[in-house]
Amino acid sequence: MLDFPFLFSNPRQADSMVDGPLGKMLNSRLNDKGIVVLGYFDLGFRNVTNSKRPITRGEDLEGLKLRVIPNPVFVETFKTFKANPVPMPFAELYGALENKAVDGQENPYAVILSNKFYEVNKYVSETNHVYATNHVQISKRFWEKLSPTEQKLLQDAATEAQNYQRVASREVSSKAVSELKAKGMMFNEISASEQARMRSEVKAVHDKFSAAYDPTVVKLFKSELERVSKL
């Protein structure tokens, strides 16, 4: 569900979502599977790059062959906008962009910069279509071998690291945009009204995948999404 498109307008909303009741419920579900979640690190909003044109509205995605991670939510999202999503391992991506097997891809700015996609794509558009977060986890079996004092020390350290990492990651993302421009990429934002229109167009994607999930989780997810949308 956290991969659903256009959930958040800013990082504060995402933080509140994973730090709040929904995050705690998901953590408890993972705990039942032998995993203890210590926190959520920021990876940032994912954005589209391509070699054809700027993306200023949903219709601009039509016909673009875009590499996506092998995730059915991502595939359905881009099909909604009549793009041609191509699931592909990340290791194959640069070569596919270079030889024009795909027109573009989507990733956070820091990933776009560090992997030199500016060499093979001209346009970078601030679609902010998915917010990416990485949860920090530890084996429950190992966790239970620790004393209460050790558990507290580890949790406190993880929380401190999480809070620091989120700030640092967002600073890196902001700097990455400037560097991508300096490398020659053409950058454009998408208006708030167009973001809202694109969000409404992917409602069917939310509904399709939500139908397969535990109704209790879905109900909390929807109420929390409404709460954080005001932040």
pLDDT at 192: 92
pLDDT at 22: 97
pLDDT at 7: 96
pLDDT at 71: 93
pLDDT at 23: 96
Q: Which of 102, 144, 148, 105 minimizes the C-alpha distance to 127?
A: 105
Residues 129-154 as b or e (16 or more Cβ within 10 Å = b): bbbbbebebbeeeebeeeeeeebeee
pLDDT at 42: 97
What angle in degrees, to the nearest 10, is found between the helix axes of 21-32 and 215-228? 150
pLDDT at 9: 93
β-strands 123-139, 35-50: how paired?
A: antiparallel
pLDDT at 4: 96
The two structure tokens encoding residue 116: 């030199």
- Please give the chain's pLDDT, 231 residues, in tens: 999 999 999 999 999 999 999 999 999 999 999 999 999 999 999 999 999 999 999 999 999 999 999 999 999 999 999 999 999 999 999 999 999 999 999 999 999 999 999 999 999 999 999 999 999 999 999 999 999 999 999 999 999 999 999 999 999 999 999 999 999 999 999 999 999 999 999 999 999 999 999 999 999 999 999 999 999
Question: Which domains are delineated in the chain?
Answer: 11-228 (3.40.190.170)
pLDDT at 25: 96
DSSP 172-229: HHHHHHHHHHHTT-EEEE--HHHHHHHHHHTHHHHHHHHTTS-HHHHHHHHHHHHHHT
pLDDT at 100: 97
pLDDT at 214: 95
pLDDT at 88: 95
